[in-house]
Structure 1
């Protein structure tokens, strides 16, 4: 099992960062058929073969994704896609 863990600093404030995290989650839900739910400042997502969390704070967003055995070979691609999405949503 592989884990992708990316932390990005931002200066958007927590509320704007939460809104942008929700947009990212909406994209995940559409592309990957993932189920997304908020628990406090953590947006949890789950689908077959992968689950993770987008944690939002006042000045950081952390994305952690645990990939199942079948998706482990795609860890590099998943990390690249998350990096691109964070660039887009946090700028």
Structure 2
């Protein structure tokens, strides 16, 4: 098991932080096959998430996000990479004046890039079939 603990201060206030966290939970359910539960509170909200190989909580406050996640054995091998991706993405979002808008733009960019990669392209070594040979129709016979 590998644990991840990330804390990031922000100046969003609870309502804007709540919207961003709720949207993240929606995307995590759809794109990462996570089961997410969102609980609103007076001082902070709590997003609990779970999927095979990972579980955790995101505490959403008026001035900070606190993520605690536990990775199973298989995902634990990638702990450093997973943690650095989360940190990089969160830091990039929090640099923007409107992180929710930046999240939506990043999601759209990712989906567009992903769709372009998976478009059907002709195979490099496609099998070429020889054109069918024209068959000459037999000459009409003259009646005797």
- TM norm. shorter chain > 0.5: yes
Q: Give secondary structure in 2 for the equivalent of 1:70.
A: helix
Larger Rg: 2
Alignment of 1:45-84 (within 5 A): 45-84=49-88
Please give the alpha-carbon distance, in whole angstroms, between the structure 2 residues aligned to 1:82 and 1:24. Answer: 12
**Relative contact order higher in (CA < 8 Å, ≥ 6 apart):** 1
Residue of structure 2 equivalent to 1:24? 24
Please give the alpha-carbon distance, in whole angstroms, between the structure 2 residues aligned to 1:78 and 1:64. Answer: 13
Please give the alpha-carbon distance, in whole angstroms, between the structure 1 residues aligned to 2:25 and 2:5. Answer: 16
| Equivalent residue pairs, number | 91
Deviation (angstroms), 1:28: 1.9
What is the root-mean-square deviation of aligned Cα atoms in Å?
1.4
Deviation (angstroms), 1:88: 4.1
Where does the alignment leave 5 or more consecutive residues of structure 2 unmatched? 97-144
Where does the alignment leave 5 or more consecutive residues of structure 1 unmatched? none
Shifted more, 27-36 versus 53-62: the winner is 27-36
Q: For 1:26-49, what per-residue CA distance to the aligned partner results, in whole angstroms no more than 9, with x for missing partners?
A: 232223200111133100010011
2:22–2:38 CA contact under 8 A, matched in 1:
no
Q: What stretches of structure 1 move > 2 A for 4+ residues in a row? A: 87-91
